[in-house]
Structure 1
Amino acid sequence: ANQEDDQKSQLLTNGPIRGPTNIIVYDTTLRDGTQMESISVSCADKLKISQRLSAFNVDYIEAGWPGSNPKDEEFFHRAQTELDAKTKSKLVAFGSTRRKRIQAKDDAQIQKLVECGAPTVCIVAKAHLWQVTDIIRAEPSENLDMISDSVSYLTSLGIDVMVDLEHYFDGFKFNKEYTLKCCDAAVKAGAKVLVMCDTNGGSMPWEVDEITKETVEKFGNLATIGIHCHNDCGLAVANSLTAAKAGVGLIQGTINGIGERTGNADLCSIVPSLALHISSKMTCNDNLDEITSLSRYLDETLNRTPDRGAPFVGNSAFAHKGGLHVAALERSPDSYQHVDPSKVGNKLRVLISELSGRQNILGKMKKLDMDIDEKTSNERSLVILERVKHLESMGYTFEGADASVELMILHSTQHYCLPFRVLDYTAQVYDTDVDSASRVMSKMENNKATNGGTVTKTNLARATVNVRVLDDPNHEEDEFLDRLEVAEGNGPVDALANALKKALVPSHPELENLQLIDYKVRILDPAAATAAATRVMIEFKDIKTDQQWTTVSVDRNIISASLNALVDGFEYALKDVVAGCVIEDFE
């Protein structure tokens, strides 16, 4: 079971790493991260995520605990043939020290670590005296033997060993002498990394600083000192950076900070902070501009909604709303942002709302590269700003609906060409079972029913859309035709979207790539009951380019609000491909 040197990471071969100058990035998304509530990941997805983490160039990928569940055993088995050599060299198998009153070589869980084929193993050990005596109910000396025996056995097989010292900071405050004995036992047995774990997430930055400095002073020349923080006090990132400044050379964390309870230290905040504010050397520095993409890839794979407010990688991380801020940004991008968003693969966004100034609108117009003079730009920006303020007073919100704002600006120009126009529409909802007591169960049964292998039809809405479009799909002739199409769907909005797409695709084949990925409805004045105004926001995606955009509409008729948002979304998809067409006033 010996591991060949060329199959493992060489980071630790030249002695201990000392931060903050040099930092090893250790990702535990696939192990500790998956312990977060509502997160479950398949073996196939774990393999894909491992490859993506490797491409970003994190140094270590803790992929699971082969001794705890069949899925992780399957992962390490499949990894041997399905992952490339670079990714396999970064894999870490997680486990624990041997059990009480048994030798490491006879411990089944230790043997799973050996057999999984991972070049590096990280074992968790108790480093808190009270946890030893009262939780696992072992003698203090026995716990030290468990650490020493486990590490020495694994290292004797050529496996690199790291030790997660559980409850390290709490244990240090409880009985520093014993906690340091745990470190000593691990180092003397051959551990290359000692990881100080803030397991309960309750340590303060000044405590982390003081304890880290003392630990580094005692063991920093014998092993790389690492840090593993939880976010129970909202300090996981701060504590990790504090530890790096105090000499830690390895930081454990997860992408997007996922993890048990309130999460782990967020590598999407830690890595950019180290690279851009502390100038730490990391192997992933050259790929820093891919971290936003990595963050969103993980959320998509785990079926999570991305955190818009996440530092560095969130959609709102570089979003600016106040008019004074935007005016200052026009003069210097550094006036209201701490780093260039492109360095982390993100982008600056100017939000439009009733709090916006004229500069917000001018910024949007500049982005659209509109060929108009400064005087006209200023005049139109004021008109558009007043319209935005008026619409927001009615319940619109444009902060998350950039597409609607851009269309508003384009519509203000004299030569903008509408790619299509909806002349009229109808939407019908029908049902074959209107008994309120049984309708839900009947629909559930219909969804499951099959007839000769064919699923029973469940569409309960039909829509008709009449549009005026270009007759020429290549947009070379200004010939128009009216097209009437009917489609069904699971509800009136789905049916309208299907009918609209069906009517437009013959003239605009590029719309085949259009997907509706989110639909949100908010009642703006609940006191009005069924007569309340409704705000609809729809998010679209071009599956060919991965571009996403959002539109908004408000109406007391939810179907009208939905159709207007749909029309804006489809029109936005065509704004760059429609050339030289003019649909005249049809009055």
Structure 2
Amino acid sequence: MNRNIEIFDSTLRDGAQGQGISFSLEDKLKIVRALDDIGIDYIEAGNPGSNPKDMEFFKLVKDIKLNNSKLVAFGSTRKSDIKVEDDINIKSLIEAGTDVVSIFGKSSAFQVTDILKTSLSENLKMIEETIKYLKENDKEVIFDAEHFFDGYKENSEYAMSTLKVAKEAGARTLVLCDTNGGTLPNEIKEITSEVVKRFGNIIGIHCHNDIGMAVANSILSVESGISHIQGTFIGVGERCGNTNLSTVIPTIVLKMNIDIKAKEHLQDLTAKARYISEISNIQLEDSAPYIGKAAFAHKGGMHIDAICKTPQSYEHIKPEMVGNKRRFLLSEVSGKSTVLQEIHKIFPNVKKDGEEVKKVTKRLKDLEYEGYQFEGAEGTVELLIRKTIGKYKPFFKLNHFKTMGENPWSNGEFSSTALINVTVDGKTEMTAAEGDGPVNALDKALRKALEVFYPELKEVKLVDYKVRVLDSESTTGAKVRVLIESTDGNESWSTVGVSKDVIQASWIALVDSIEYKLIKDIERKAKAYF
């Protein structure tokens, strides 16, 4: 398709309504810079009339120079039965100082009469007068037709009349909103096609994901002729979220051959998505298309062998096109090709029939028999390869540690303390830390002790911790497998430990996590030097 599509991101407004998300002012400023870097056309930055934090944000964001994006203030039409110039929220939109304003108004007759409690004619006046007033104040106006698809199915004539009024009042773009997120793809395509026929190339789409169809509905809308897509960059939002732009953007560029500004920045897609998820304090699903850790991960021996010969045998695009990378997962079904690929990441000169491959394969199989699982623990795999081949030197020596739990406790939570003694290059450091349970206390104590020698560990934090009992029939004497995920804000990695003692299994995984980070930092510094 030889046409342009505008990308409108609502992470800072619609995304902020998602469960567990609360952006600080600094968070919002960081996300604005990231979205501008990736080539987003419009960044909906919030509702300045809804809370003091958003108004303060609009004051601060004026100092940021944007290269690709336009900032958008968001708000509703004027309230019923008052003058538009007297509406406090409308005044806030103008005071926000953005060139673009996104206004939402009801397109469902039911929503007008039963929720707004006003007349259908008054609602049309609210839309018309608000848009005209904003145009008089030199604003580019995007009209979000809220509940459009439900409204169209209830009363298509009235739903269309809201678009007609908005267009005639001066709205540049008319956005059809699947506000409840329950419209099926065939309905979206049929209705959107009718709207495009009537109003031309000024139609946008805003889908919610309540039946898992937001991306599909947005893609079908493109086929129907829309020129503007709204969503959030990693799909966050109220209830089940919004259209995931990190899926839509590469799909319309790579699969539909549509030019968008973000096309020039596609190789940064994965890094920006993970950066925004980190700021949002949510964990991306490994299976997320294009950007997930498992998006280009291969486990079966025959699949991996085929990938090594011809990548397109099991990959629909090159992972590098979206800034991701191919992963081969080591497991009981892995063959020598898999092991060799992992070894080559560190030691590219090792031969397939070399003794090193045999040693690593045997060690992996032995540990799997003990209960280890490596397919989600690339950090531990790399360290295992280094140790087995003999290219490993420990960064510290543990002299001893002790964990203690306290009962009873006064604050309603189980408090624990960890005491640890380590040696680095002949120097000993002993420290203690409190935590929410023994593993948390041990994690804090270990990092606290090692930060004296390795300050870069201050960047590292544990973002996920999983425990699995491997033999439930052994009850409290069963082996457990601990898998942890860590990040330094730029990269994430996973490590694993197995023991009959959950503290020891956690310790093994924690040590691997820290040593992996230190090794990677050394390698980065060496590359930068040369």
TM-score with structure 1 length normalisation?
0.81
Report Cα offsets for 1:361-388 as digits up to 9, x if no partner. Answer: 1211222234333422xx6545544543
Q: Secondary structure at the match of 1:522?
A: strand
| Native 8 Å contact 1:98 1:150 kept in 2 | yes
Cα distance in 1, alignment partners of residues 502 and 359 from structure 2: 28
- CA shift at 1:295, angstroms? 1.1
Cα distance in 2, alignment partners of residues 171 and 487 from structure 1: 64
| Native 8 Å contact 1:430 1:461 kept in 2 | yes
- CA shift at 1:496, angstroms? 7.7
User: For residue 330 of structure 1, what is the aligned residue in structure 2?
Assistant: 308
- CA shift at 1:83, angstroms? 2.0
User: For residue 49 of structure 1, what is the aligned residue in structure 2?
Assistant: 31
Cα distance in 2, alignment partners of residues 217 and 291 from structure 1: 33
User: For residue 528 of structure 2, what is the aligned residue in structure 1?
Assistant: none
User: For residue 218 of structure 2, what is the aligned residue in structure 1?
Assistant: 240
Q: 2:117 aligns with which of 122, 137, 140?
A: 137
User: For residue 536 of structure 1, what is the aligned residue in structure 2?
Assistant: 482
In structure 2, the CA distance between the partners of 1:102 and 1:387, relative to structure 1 (3 Å rule), is same
User: For residue 402 of structure 1, what is the aligned residue in structure 2?
Assistant: 378
Report Cα offsets for 1:449-497 as digits up to 9, x if no partner. Answer: xxxxxxxxx98222334x6x7x6xxxxxxxxxx6655332336655587
Give yes or no for the alignment of 1:36 onto 2:18: yes
AA aligned to 1:439 is W
Cα distance in 1, alignment partners of residues 378 and 45 from structure 2: 39
User: For residue 208 of structure 2, what is the aligned residue in structure 1?
Assistant: 230
Cα distance in 2, alignment partners of residues 522 and 180 from structure 1: 55
Report Cα offsets for 1:84-119 as digits up to 9, x if no partner. Answer: 2547x6111111112222232222222221222111
AA aligned to 2:474 is A
Mean Cα deviation higher: 304-313 or 342-351: 304-313
User: For residue 158 of structure 2, what is the aligned residue in structure 1?
Assistant: 178
User: For residue 317 of structure 1, what is the aligned residue in structure 2?
Assistant: 295
In structure 2, the CA distance between the partners of 1:341 and 1:156, relative to structure 1 (3 Å rule), is same
| Native 8 Å contact 2:270 2:291 kept in 1 | yes
Cα distance in 1, alignment partners of residues 293 and 46 from structure 2: 30
User: For residue 5 of structure 1, what is the aligned residue in structure 2?
Assistant: none
Cα distance in 1, alignment partners of residues 129 and 209 from structure 2: 32
| Native 8 Å contact 1:319 1:351 kept in 2 | yes
In structure 2, the CA distance between the partners of 1:505 and 1:274, relative to structure 1 (3 Å rule), is same
User: For residue 247 of structure 2, what is the aligned residue in structure 1?
Assistant: 269
Cα distance in 1, alignment partners of residues 186 and 412 from structure 2: 61
Give yes or no for the alignment of 1:84 onto 2:65: yes
- CA shift at 1:46, angstroms? 1.4
Q: Secondary structure at the match of 1:255?
A: coil
Give yes or no for the alignment of 1:161 onto 2:130: no
| Native 8 Å contact 1:321 1:353 kept in 2 | yes
Cα distance in 2, alignment partners of residues 234 and 527 from structure 1: 39
Q: 1:556 aligns with which of 492, 500, 520?
A: 500
Cα distance in 2, alignment partners of residues 496 and 92 from structure 1: 43
| Bigger Cα Rg | 1
- CA shift at 1:442, angstroms? 8.9
Q: Secondary structure at the match of 2:229?
A: strand
Give yes or no for the alignment of 1:524 onto 2:470: yes
In structure 2, the CA distance between the partners of 1:428 and 1:23, relative to structure 1 (3 Å rule), is same
Q: 1:207 aligns with which of 174, 181, 187?
A: 187
Q: 1:388 aligns with which of 349, 353, 364?
A: 364
- CA shift at 1:230, angstroms? 0.3
Query: Identity percentage over the alignment?
Result: 42
User: For residue 426 of structure 1, what is the aligned residue in structure 2?
Assistant: 400
Report Cα offsets for 1:39-75 as digits up to 9, x if no partner. Answer: 1112232122112211222111111111222222222
Cα distance in 2, alignment partners of residues 330 and 118 from structure 1: 51
Cα distance in 2, alignment partners of residues 422 and 75 from structure 1: 45
Q: Secondary structure at the match of 2:261?
A: coil
In structure 2, the CA distance between the partners of 1:501 and 1:409, relative to structure 1 (3 Å rule), is farther
Q: Secondary structure at the match of 1:210?
A: helix
- CA shift at 1:338, angstroms? 0.9
Q: 1:123 aligns with which of 71, 96, 103?
A: 103
| Native 8 Å contact 2:403 2:442 kept in 1 | no
Q: Secondary structure at the match of 1:161?
A: strand
Give yes or no for the alignment of 1:461 onto 2:418: yes
| Native 8 Å contact 1:484 1:503 kept in 2 | no
User: For residue 350 of structure 1, what is the aligned residue in structure 2?
Assistant: 328
User: 5+ unaligned residues in a row in structure 2: which ranges?
Assistant: 524-530
Mean Cα deviation higher: 105-114 or 417-426: 417-426
User: For residue 411 of structure 2, what is the aligned residue in structure 1?
Assistant: 441
User: For residue 279 of structure 1, what is the aligned residue in structure 2?
Assistant: 257
AA aligned to 1:209 is K
AA aligned to 1:53 is L
Mean Cα deviation higher: 143-152 or 208-217: 143-152
User: 5+ unaligned residues in a row in structure 1: which ranges?
Assistant: 1-18, 445-457, 472-481, 579-587
Report Cα offsets for 1:307-328 as digits up to 9, x if no partner. Answer: 2221111111111111111111
Mean Cα deviation higher: 380-389 or 135-144: 380-389
Q: Secondary structure at the match of 1:271?
A: helix
Q: 1:515 aligns with which of 460, 466, 469?
A: 460
Report Cα offsets for 1:233-271 as digits up to 9, x if no partner. Answer: 100000001001110000000011011110000001000
- CA shift at 1:20, angstroms? 6.9
* Aligned length in residues: 518
Q: Secondary structure at the match of 2:460?
A: strand
AA aligned to 2:368 is E
Cα distance in 1, alignment partners of residues 146 and 161 from structure 2: 14
Q: Secondary structure at the match of 2:497?
A: strand
AA aligned to 1:27 is D
Q: Secondary structure at the match of 2:338?
A: helix
- CA shift at 1:189, angstroms? 1.0
Mean Cα deviation higher: 417-426 or 284-293: 417-426
In structure 2, the CA distance between the partners of 1:318 and 1:441, relative to structure 1 (3 Å rule), is same
Q: Secondary structure at the match of 1:228?
A: strand
Q: 1:411 aligns with which of 387, 410, 428?
A: 387
TM-score with structure 2 length normalisation?
0.89
| Native 8 Å contact 1:354 1:389 kept in 2 | yes
